Structure 1
Amino acid sequence: MGKKVSVLVVDDSLICRQLISQALSQDPDIEVVGSCADGKQAIALTKELRPHVVTMDVDMPVMDGLTAVEHIMAECPTPILVLTADPRSQAPELTCRALELGALALQIKPAIDAGPDAWNLVREVKLLSSVRVIRHLRGPKRAQLMPRPVTAMPPVSMGIVAVAASTGGPQVLYRMLSELPADFPAPIVIVQHINAAFSESLAGWLANASKLKVRLAQDGEPLMPGHVLIAPPGLHTITPFRGRVALKPGTERDGHMPSGTVLLESAAKAYGRRAVGLVLTGMGADGAEGLLAIKQGGGLTLAQNEESCVVFGMPGEAVERKAVDHLIHGDDVAATLVRLARGESLAAGR
């Protein structure tokens, strides 16, 4: 590649800063341009050095990492990778709050004796360096996150909503699930690419925002209206037949397991015209072939528009395959699903 990827390393532990810097510096395409021990310094150095990526610790003195993320995304938007301790020892809101504030990805800090190849830090940093981030206004507008008032849902023929999402997806899912009514008449199954250690935290964070029942999927459990199942790590999540979800071992599809395409293809086969497929922001092509399968099976296909995506990769690939019926803004996903559930038509897609 041409110009090196510049990285700012933020952690209050000198040993961690050295470990992270060493792991990154072993790649000839990456240059660690600075490091610091607290969030206040991180803000100043981000403005001064303009790194391509910031790695951010959470628990630090002077100013914690989440506050620093909020400031950086408001004042000097930069791709941020949050490195934290094992999320199973923390409240889900702590780690996932970073995503709400604009961080792009989460990863567990390596053990002190972990070699540079023991974790995918270099790969993650390189991927994030290509993302064009947008400014996040400080202090989320709570009115925007409040569910919009809706009347009770009438019975509809919508059988399932199958969703594929990656980079930037948790923020869109948070908003979508915070706005959908408790009596939404179809089950929702979601594949969200995220570091495996954060799957439970993600599900808990989304559950706290929603009137729907949100949890990680379990093999063989029923699909019911008002319930949202998140695909757990390391297995493919499929709908082998209507009304049931299954977890299956296998190989990666489109570079992922669970794969959005595998989920969407199974929904197309099981539900046919009653399937609604949705591909949200993310790198790569996962979900595109699955969305095409739903479209070819007579179901309805939606994808997030480029304007509102952190990365238009996955929706863009679906558009290239002519798999998308309607492009929608990330802020309008819940309203669109409610309209469809009511049987209202949408404007012609692009």
Structure 2
Amino acid sequence: MQFSKKKVVLIEDSPVALEILQRLLNSSPDVDVVGTARDGVEGLEVISQTNPDVICTDLLMDNMDGLELTKRIMAEDPRPILVISNFVQKTDIDNVFRLLQAGAADVFPKPSTDSPTDYEKLKAALIAKIKVLSSMKVALRRQQQLMTAPVELSTSGSILRSESLITNVGSRIKIICIGASTGGLQTIQKILSQLPSNFPLPVICTLHLSEGILSGLVNWLSSECQLRVKIAQVGEYPLPGTIYFAPEKHHLELDFLGKFAYVKALPGEKHCPSITITFKSIANFYSRATVGVLLSGLGSDGAEGLQMISQVGGMTIAQNEKSGAIFGMVKEAIALGAAQNLLEVEEIAPFLLKTISGQ
């Protein structure tokens, strides 16, 4: 069977960075760099000529920067966009994540290492991300849809349409855990930014991120959300009204007292932090008081964790296929009978609020 290569366009104004990225991607038999450009203006021309599967763009460029380029692409000819940046200053971090809000699919740190070991690790991570993003479905995006208003906790009226199998359990819910993979950063922002300042539960998030992205993501979400956003620390109790993220390079669990604990990955583990490990640990401690939310992602991480939440009597939610998601993880959860509620992204936060308010 013959497999077609994933076509990539690189838009980068640094000759050194461009050369490294080309070398990284061209080393893979599954990826073909079909064009390069020095800025967004050139990039739009190259994209129209080459019809790539994935676009990789820098942030700061002359003539047209990465943000304006992303807005143009998503409004005119949407495709998966990977932002490659080195996050030098806080303003850069803020702008990088504005690209996500504008429609970019994910973020990757700009390569700058001379270490052979780090180089191989970076190459594997970048190629894997390109393969995942090439499978994403993206849609035209209007600018007025980019900002999402918070939802009031005292929502009224009927719930948005969903395939719901569970009725009101609001009085017993104590914690919410969310898992997402490559391409899920936009979705996380959409959901968390809708939670109001009086949201009464802790929210634990586990994401598959490129190394070095987490602190910038937390900083950006802190400016987007009404709740406190932070990286979970060992020995902390999950507190109401706080959004916690699993750390880099470690799995996040709860100990026998319900405090956060870090666990090192075992050799050969594909994802660290693992969504399933976090989900299972939370389900083990909170049992039926748990709500698990599984978002887009390739593979199966999170499916068994969502299954355990369902088995102990908790509520489970999964992002439906209509959302344009990479449906692998959710598909596995459905196969296990773990996805009680299949919702569109825009429905998830209102559904959570109605559930915990007992309506």
Query: TM-score, normalised to structure 2's length?
Result: 0.89
Give distance in 2, aligned partners of 1:166 and 1:7: 21
Query: Contact 2:129–2:182 at 8 Å: present in 1 too?
Result: no
Q: Name 2:167's counterpart in structure 1.
A: none
For residue 300 of structure 1, what is the aligned residue in structure 2? Answer: 315
Give me the whole-angstrom Cα distance separating, in 1, the residues matched to 2:259 and 2:70: 40
Q: CA deviation at 1:204?
A: 1.3
Where 2:193 maps in the other structure, the secondary structure is helix
The match for 2:127 among 122, 128, 132 is 122
Q: Is the 8 A contact 1:7 1:55 kept in 2?
A: yes
Alignment length, in residue pairs?
341
In the alignment, the residues of structure 2 paired with residue 44 and residue 190 of structure 1 have an alpha-carbon distance, to the nearest angstrom, of 39
- Distance in 2, matches of 1:241 and 1:228, equals 21
For residues 275-303 of structure 1, the C-alpha deviation after alignment (integer angstroms, 9 at most, x for no partner) is: 11110111111110000001110111111
Contact 1:5 1:126 in 2 (8 A): yes
- Taking only aligned residues, the RMSD between alpha carbons, in angstroms, comes to 2.2
Whether 1:201 and 2:202 are equivalent positions in the alignment is: no
Structure 1 residues 28 and 250: alpha-carbon distance in aligned structure 2, compared to 1, 3 A threshold: closer
Aligned to 2:106: 105
1:226 aligns with 2:236: no
Which runs of structure 2 are paired with 1:246-261 in the superposition (5 Å)? 246-251=261-266, 255-261=270-276
* Conservation of the 8 A alpha-carbon contact between 2:136 and 2:324: no
Contact 1:235 1:257 in 2 (8 A): yes
2:166 equivalent to 1:151: no
Partner of 1:187: 202
**Are residues 1:315 and 2:354 paired?**
no
1:130–1:190: structure 2 CA closer, same or farther, 3 Å change rule? same
Residue number in structure 1 paired with 2:42: 41
Q: 5+ residue gaps in structure 1?
A: 345-350
Q: Show CA shifts across 1:153-187 (max 9, x none).
A: xx832111011111232212212222112221211
CA contact (8 A) 1:220 1:247 kept: no
- Is the 1:11–1:56 contact (alpha carbons within 8 Å) kept by the matching residues of 2? yes
1:67-78 equivalence runs, <5 A: 67-78=68-79
TM-score by length of 1: 0.91
1:90 positional shift:
4.7
Q: 1:202 to 1:47 in 2, by over 3 A?
A: same
* Structure 1 SS opposite 2:288: helix
Q: Any conservation in 1 of the 2:105–2:184 contact (CA below 8 Å)?
A: no
Partner of 2:165: none
Rounded to whole Å, the distance in 1 between the matches of 2:332 and 2:268 is: 15
Give the match for residue 278 of structure 1. Answer: 293
Cα 1:254/1:318, change in 2 over 3 Å: farther
Taking only the aligned residue pairs, the percentage that are identical comes to 34
Amino acid in the other structure paired with 1:67: E
- Show structure 2 runs of 5+ residues with no match: 156-169
2:57 and 2:13 mapped to 1: Cα distance?
A: 10
In the alignment, structure 1 residue 210 sits paired with structure 2 residue 222: no
Q: Could you tell me which residue of structure 2 aligns to residue 347 of structure 1?
A: none
In structure 1, give the amino acid aligned to 2:70.
V
SS of residue in 1 equivalent to 2:276: helix
